[in-house]
Chains A and B, each alone.
Chain A
Amino acid sequence: MLQEESTRQRARRMRMISILSIIGILLLWFVVTMEWQGADPIVRSLKLPSPARVLETLIQVRETILRQALVTLYRVSLSFLAGSALGVLVGLVMSRFRIVFAFLVPHIEALRPVPPVALIPFFILWFGISLFGQVLLAGLGCFMVMVVCTIEAVRNVPRIYIQAARSLGAEQDYIYRTVILPAIVPELIAGWRVALALAFGLMAAAEMMGAQEGIGFMIMVARRSLNTPTIMLGIIIIGIEAALADRVLYYFTRRLTRWTERDVER
């Protein structure tokens, strides 16, 4: 009982530290952009708009910005779901069949270091300014992360589980479904979190270069008129969206890892 109480207290203390950290950054932002009795702020408002200006902008454009945020979220969700599902699938097939591995590995290894953003000009040429091109770009990023993550995770599955399964009469395909797949889930979660954040970043980039709506598009338009409060607002909204999406992902994947030690309080 005593032990339980103290871990809970500690969790609360840790949360307090996180909140203080956020408040500290906001305060710093407030101070360096403050106009004190007509004097210039430490950082000029063109370079860094004050929190008040950003808030003002938010109130002015609240309806359109909600729409832009939802458009971006929708595109990111599509990219993440399709890209990472396909990535896990291809990673599993590559691990299972050496021929497929040998066939695909040179392309994946060659394409992996290329920043997907570099492909944007081609994607616009091939697919125009379309949802397909945007989703393909961000999805490709997720795909690459998950292929590599899956292959490595399969390699890390303890041999003893596979030997045990074989001695219980399981065939190779059955082992992939009932041993390898569940065993790699904890490592896949790490990959999914990386891929999800990457999808937001890539989608923002795709929207800046070829889109007619979305947060990235909004930032790009604001850039032309040096409308820094709107740019700042876009950045904050993408950050909040990505953080919330990460929590949602955490919530869903928690159920998959009830059998591991990761959620045990310590």
Chain B
Amino acid sequence: MKPDPIIKIELNAVHKTFHTAQGSVAALDETSLKINTNEIVCIVGPSGCGKSTLLNLVAGFIAPSAGSVRVDGVPVRGPGADRAVVFQQDSIFPWLTVQQNLAYGPRARGLPNHEIQPIVDRLLALVGLTEYAELFPLQLSGGMKKRVDLARAYANKPAVLLMDEPFGALDVLTKEKMQLELLRLWQEEALTILFVTHDIEEALFIGDRVVVMTPRPARVAEDIAVPFTRELDPRRKTTAAFQQLRQGLMDTLSQSEAEPAA
């Protein structure tokens, strides 16, 4: 099969069953999804439905029980620098300073120092952390840590950015700032983003497409293209058209939750 240059991520009839001491749990059932290059796709669904499973499969942290997961037409065999991950919990390294965190990826891939420093400096400026470069994460606020996390992912120039409820633990205002920050970075330097969230508003604000999943075992319930222009203005969320679409997706979600999967 020849890879389609436009399709970046492709999940084909993916099943994932977890075997635990308590028995087997089907997390994903017959899920197929295509994500185009430089597209932002948001996955929403009821909590515990298997959204994160989908993301972990693309990240290569787990392998599918059946079906295939491909990035650039190549089956995913494990984690790799082409797919950066931003988690909900803090995953920046607390023993490294802000700028050492940003340099981690390039250094791990063996880039020479004179190439790393410009990357780090540019990203520090881009996310407004230049004056905090020498601080340890302990000294930063939750929002700043998230920006370091995002910048660390970007510093590695990945083709795909996987985000697992990245702003879920932040307060409303910080969350909104981070959404804008992400869009600004993406406009600066486009890449393919798979964004898992339980917040429909966030999904509609950030995404080109919003994919709604059913409860466990998850499948794709609905896949809609977001019809709005992507202005960096949070007031966009309060327009009638936006709210109408949000309500529609809410209904889909609560419906799928009401009738248990067959």
Contacts and interface: CB of A to CB of B under 8 A. Distances in A.
Nearest to B88: A160
A148 B162 CA distance: 37
B85 A164 contact: yes
A88 to B, nearest CB: 16
A168 B94 contact: no
B57 to A, nearest CB: 13
B93 interface: yes
Interface residues of A, number: 22
A169 B109 CA distance: 6
B138 A168 contact: no
A163 interface: yes
B89 A168 contact: no
Task: Say whether chain B's binding surface is mostly helix, strand, loop, or mixed.
Answer: loop
Nearest to A258: B136
B137 interface: yes
A167 B83 contact: yes
B255 interface: no
Contact of A167 (B80, B92, B136): B80
Given A160-B91, A161-B91, A260-B138, A167 B59 contact: yes
A93 B91 CA distance: 25
B185 to A, nearest CB: 17
Interface of A: 160-161, 163-171, 174, 178-179, 182-183, 185, 258-261, 264
25 contacts: A160-B87, A160-B89, A161-B93, A163-B91, A164-B85, A164-B87, A164-B91, A165-B104, A165-B108, A166-B80, A167-B85, A168-B81, A168-B84, A168-B105, A168-B152, A169-B105, A174-B108, A178-B104, A179-B93, A182-B95, A183-B95, A259-B94, A259-B138, A261-B138, A264-B138
